[in-house]
Structure 1
C-alpha cells in the first residue's frame, strides 16, 4: 500500500453530521483493498505449497500464520496508520446492496478449506519435523481464527445460505456454537457482568479464557434449547443448530483424517484450539472493563458507542472486515462491514487488534496499557467500571488517587454530547 493509496483512504473524513448526510456522489476508496481478507488463506496456501516443495530450505514458511498475525500485520498497522474515512449516510443503501462485498466474504471459505487440508497433509507426513508440525498447526489455526470473523460477518445476515456458510467457516475450528451464542447471547448481554464474552477490569486473559469458553457453550445450549422449546421440539431435534454445527465439524475432521491419515487428527485439534483462542483473545480486547449502566427500573441501557473498544488501524480493518469499528457493529448488527462507521468519541485502543494480542497474553503488560485508559474513559468514576469481583477492592484502592485526578480534570472541561449510533 503506497503513500498515494494511504492518502486516498484518508481523503474523506465525513465525521460531522453535515458531511455524513452529504448528497455528493461517493465511492468506496477501499473497494479493491477489501480483497486482502480472502487473499489471506490464499497466502497461507501458497506458503504451505512452497514448504511442501522445499521443506528443508523453506522451513520458515510453516510459520507464516503467526508471523502475519503477530508480526507483519501489526507492523503494517504502525507504518500505515489510521483510517478516518466514513461512508456518508447517502451511500449506505448502495453499499449494503452491492453484492461485490458479500462475494468477497464468501470467497474466503474455499481457500480456507484447501489450506486446512494442505496443512493436515503436510503435518501427517512421517518426515515432517515436530517443530514444523507446530508451525503448520499455528499457521492453519491463525487463518482459521480469521475464518471465525468471516463467519461472524455472514452469521449476522438473515438468509439461510449466509447462515450455512457461516457455519461452514466455523467448522474447521469446531467452534460452531459461536453462531448461536454470539448473535443471541453476546449481543444481548454485551458489556455487562452477565456476558461471558465481556472481560472485566483486573481479569487476566488466562482467567477470562475458561470463563468465556465454557460460559459461551453453556449459554448457547440454553439459547437453543429455549428456541426449540418455543417450537414444541426437543433439544435433540434435527433442527438443533448446535447439533448441525457439531455434525459439520465432525464430518470435516473425519473426511480430512480419512484423506490424510490418523496423524491429521492431533493436527486438526491443535489448529482448532489456537484458532478459537484467537477469537477469544479478540473478545477479551473488545469490551475490557466497559459497563452498561442500569436505569431506575434495573434494566441495562441500550448499547452505545462507549461500550466497545475501537481501533481504526487500516490494515487490521481490511483483514477483519472492519470488526474494529465495533461500536457501530453492536448498534447495527446486520450492517455490512463496508458500511460500518468510525466514532471519534468512542473509546480507542492504543493499537489495532493484531498488535494488542501479545499484550493481552501478558497480564501486567495489558493492565499497564489498559487500566488507566478505562478510568480515563469513565472520567475517574470507578463505580461505572465492570470490575473483576475478586480484585475490585484492591484495584479501587490502587487507582483511587489517579481516579480523583482524572475526575478533577473532567469536571473542569466543558461537557460534550456523546456520539449516537
Structure 2
C-alpha cells in the first residue's frame, strides 16, 4: 500500500496512507449484486431470487453502514495533489463503465430468453435499473473532471439509463443554483420525494437542454449539431435499446422503460436527501452566497461511500466540485444524515417518517437554530410549517 510523503517547510515530514485504497474497488465490483440475483435464478429457476440484489442494496448495505459506522479521516491537504495524481483511483472509475453495460445486457438476456412471469421481468428490470442508477453516479464522478477522456466516458455511462442531459445540467445548472428555491434538484422542507420527483425530473431535463442550446449558440452552432453532447449520449442510448429489442424481442420495451424509470428515481432519491431544506442566503446584490459545506447533507458511512465513490461526502463535493473522490474531506458541524444513502432512502419513501426524523434535524442545525427564514420551504406547506415550528 503506497505511502505518500513530503517534507513541509514548517510542518516537517508529512505522511499519509489511504487504508481504504483497495477497498475502493468495491464500487467497480458492485455489479455482483444484480449478477448475484441472475446467477441464483439460473441455478434454482426460482423467480424470487431475482430480488436478491434489492435486498442486498436496500437492507444489507444500510445494516453494514450501521455496523461499521463512519470514517471521518481526511488526507493531509498538503498531500492532496499527490493523491489526486495517483492514476489507480481514476482507473477504477474507467473500469466501472463497461460493468454498467454488462449488467444491463445480462439482465436483458435473462428477461428475454427465460420463461419469466410479468412479476419476474419487473424484478430483474428494477434490479438492473438500480445498478444503472449507479451509472449516473459513475458519470457524476467522471463528468466533473476536465479531461476529454473522462468527459466522454461520462456521456457513455449516461447512455445506459438514457439520461444524457445529466452532466450538462448537473455541472452548469445544479452546482450553480444548489440549495436555492430556483433549483429543481434541491428538495424543500415539507416536499415529499414523490412531489419532488415530479418537479425535479422534468425541471432538470428542460434546464439541461436550455444550457446546451446556450453553449452551442455561443459557438455559432445549431441545437441539433453533432457537437450537442446530450444528443451524443442519447444516440448511444438509441443504439443500445434497439440492439436489446433486436436480440431479445419486444419484451425489451417494457423492460427498458421500467429499468430507466427506476434508474432515474435513484438519482432523484439521491438529490432529495442531499439538500433537503437547506438554503443559501441572498446577498444585498441579489445573488446567492457561495455554496458552503453546510449547504449539503453529509454522510461518512464507510460501506456505502466505498460503493458510491465517496458521493456521500457531498458537502465537500459541492464546495469543491473538481476534487476527486479519494480526496473529499469531512468537516465539523456539517448537516449529517442518520445513515448512508440506501438507509435514508427508506425514510424518504415514507414521507411522514422522513418529516418526523429530518425536519427536527434540519431545524437543529447550527446555522439554522430554528430560524425558518434560513430554510428552503415548500411554498404550499409554508403556513403549516410555520404554525408548527414558527
Q: Which deviations, in whole Å up to 9, do the C-alpha atoms of 1:245-264 show, x marking residues without a partner?
A: 21111111111221222212
Q: CA separation of 1:203/1:255 partners in 2, compared to 1, >3 Å: closer, same or farther?
A: same
Q: Contact (CA 8 Å) 2:53, 2:127: kept in 1 or not? A: yes
Q: Secondary structure at the match of 2:31?
A: helix
Residue 379 (str. 1) matches residue 388 (str. 2): no
User: Contact between 2:36 and 2:53, CA under 8 Å: does it hold in 1?
Assistant: no
CA–CA distance in structure 2, aligned partners of residues 265 and 107 of structure 1: 28
| 1:339 aligns with one of 314, 321, 327 | 327
User: Could you tell me how far apart the structure 2 residues matched to 1:339 and 1:196 are?
Assistant: 28
Contact 1:22 1:88 in 2 (8 A): no
Q: Structure 1 residue runs of 4+, over 6 Å off?
A: none
Aligned residues: 379
Q: Which residue of 1 aligns with 2:194?
A: 206
Matches within 5 A, 1:155-166: 155-166=143-154
Please report the RMSD computed on the Cα atoms of aligned residues, expressed in angstroms: 1.5
What runs of 5+ residues in structure 2 fail to find an aligned partner? 1-7
Q: CA deviation at 1:64?
A: 2.5
Q: Give the one of 27, 34, 50 matched to 1:37.
A: 27
Normalised by the length of structure 1, the TM-score is 0.87
Query: Gaps spanning 5+ residues in structure 1: where?
Result: 1-17, 401-421
- Write the distance in 2 (CA, Å) between the matches of 1:111 and 1:218: 29
1:139 is aligned, of 109, 119, 127, to 127
The question of 1:82 aligning with 2:73 is answered no
State which of 121, 135, 138 in structure 2 corresponds to 1:150.
138
- What are the Cα deviations for residues 20-55 of structure 1, in whole angstroms up to 9, with x where unaligned? x78421110100110111111134224313422432
Any residues of structure 2 matched to 1:11-22 within 5 Å, and which? Answer: none
Counterpart-to-counterpart distance in 2, 1:167 and 1:70? 27
TM-score normalised over the length of structure 2 = 0.94
| Whole-angstrom CA distance in 2 between matches of 1:249 and 1:351 | 34
Report deviation, 1:373: 1.2
Q: Take 1:22 and 1:345, find their aligned partners in 2: how far apart are those partners?
A: 29
Do 2:33 and 2:53's aligned partners in 1 also have CA atoms closer than 8 Å?
no
Question: Which is further off, 160-169 or 71-80?
Answer: 160-169
Map 1:1-400 → 2, pairs under 5 A: 23-56=13-46, 59-125=47-113, 127-377=115-365, 378-400=368-390
Taking a change above 3 Å as real, the CA distance of residues 359 and 43 of structure 1, as seen in their structure-2 partners, is: closer
